Structure 1
Amino acid sequence: MKGSILAMNKNKIVAASFVVLALAVTTLSSCRNKNNPGLEYARNMYDHIAYDPDQPNKNFANGQTAQTPPANTSPVGFVKYEYANTKEGYEAAGLNLHNPLAKTPQNLLSGKHYFTVFCGPCHGEKGDGKGHLVQIEKFTGVPAYHGDAASSRGGLMKDLSEGKIYHTIMYGLNNMGSHASQLTPDQRWKVVMYVQQLQKIQ
């Protein structure tokens, strides 16, 4: 029995030595020639078959991989927004845009979450315009959604319609950038729903 244990330990030592030797040989062979990286694991994972968007492509007449989409087509999941980033577009959105989502506790909770993540750093978790970025004086002039805070476009913040809030999320205003790339249309409407709750705070 003692002999069989010794034989098993010798086998493990020989196997481990072989692995170490193989790794050393592979490492030294790849360091020998700077132009040849030696053995590469799963080369097809970064030299893929598909074309990169900026790569020349002989399959198209203009020789480019990235092509202009055909006329009258939209990307999958794209939702067209009809209102321009103008004062007129803002006013039209205020009159004509209405939240398509039902006002449910779940939608309000989601809206609160997205508001806290994307809006709270400036507008504050209570919508009072005193988020942590304002408190460290990184941004100034951030309005509250309630009380007598005035909108830079006229009127009071507490009176903004859902369409005007959505339009501002889409395009941004003053120091606030557009959040169209961070929030999907449904997420934007959930934020609007939550902002309208904050507007009611006395």
Structure 2
Amino acid sequence: MKSLFKTAFVLGIMVAVSSCKSDLKPNYQYMPNMYESVAYETYSESDAFNSPTGEKGKEGQSPAEGSIKRGFVPYEVPNTPEALAMLKATNPKSPLDSTQVDMKKGEELFNVYCAICHGTEGNGKGKLVTQEKFLGVPSYADRVINEASIFHVVTYGLNSMGSHANQLSQTERWLVAAYVMQLKSKL
């Protein structure tokens, strides 16, 4: 008798469990968007930012026309040898006045970004030069330079030297240029 009740009980549970599932009438979903979301492939194109000109995905990613980032001051001199020669000939002055020029800060920036190649005295004998990793780094004593030409070279780079415009702000580049002129006067 007990085995008959056990068998009936197990059979009843199996019928109850199997009767809850029906492919014709699916269960109710409270938030169907979470259960059946739109599948997107990774790095696939999206219609989220379609522009009126037909460029897919460009409208939401590009900045507004004529905008510049906060704190950025455009540098109008082009990156050409003629422009560098013009700066050396005309010798425009730094936009920083004497109260803004902090030689201690200029020295710190020079030691971080420039001294590894140019040396702490500006003689072209930095650590990378003495280890022969870079050759031909000039001494400031041998060069016809001024603050504007130094600023231009630090902004755009020249020969093996790359641009430092991403690492140094415009004010910091002028501070480095002022410190380099101080080093040149000591050589």
> What is the TM-score with the length of structure 1 in the denominator?
0.62
1:91: which partner in 2?
85
1:58 correspondence with 2:48: yes
1:70: which partner in 2?
64
Query: Which consecutive residues of structure 1, in runs of 5 or more, have no partner in the other structure?
Result: 1-53, 150-156
Label 1:119 to 1:57 Cα distance change in 2 as closer, same or farther (>3 A): farther
1:153: which partner in 2?
none
Is 1:98–1:163's contact at 8 Å kept on the other side of the alignment?
A: yes
Which structure's CA Rg is the greater one?
Answer: 2
Query: Which consecutive residues of structure 2, in runs of 5 or more, have no partner in the other structure?
Result: 1-43
- Give the distance between the partners of 1:57 and 1:108, measured in 2 at CA: 53
> What is the TM-score with the length of structure 2 in the denominator?
0.67
- Give the distance between the partners of 1:68 and 1:112, measured in 2 at CA: 38
Where do 1:6-155 residues align within 5 Å?
Answer: 56=46, 58-61=48-51, 62-64=55-57, 66-94=60-88, 95=90, 97-103=92-98, 107-146=102-141, 149=142
Cα distance per residue 1:65-103 (max 9 Å; x no partner): 653333322222221111111112212333264212233
Label 1:59 to 1:189 Cα distance change in 2 as closer, same or farther (>3 A): same
Q: Percent identity?
A: 40
Cα distance per residue 1:108-150 (max 9 Å; x no partner): 000000000000000000101000000110001101112xx2x
Please, what is the CA RMSD of the aligned residues?
2.4
1:192: which partner in 2?
177
Moved more, 62-71 or 176-185: 62-71
1:161: which partner in 2?
146
Label 1:113 to 1:58 Cα distance change in 2 as closer, same or farther (>3 A): same
What is the one-letter code of the residue matched to 1:170? T
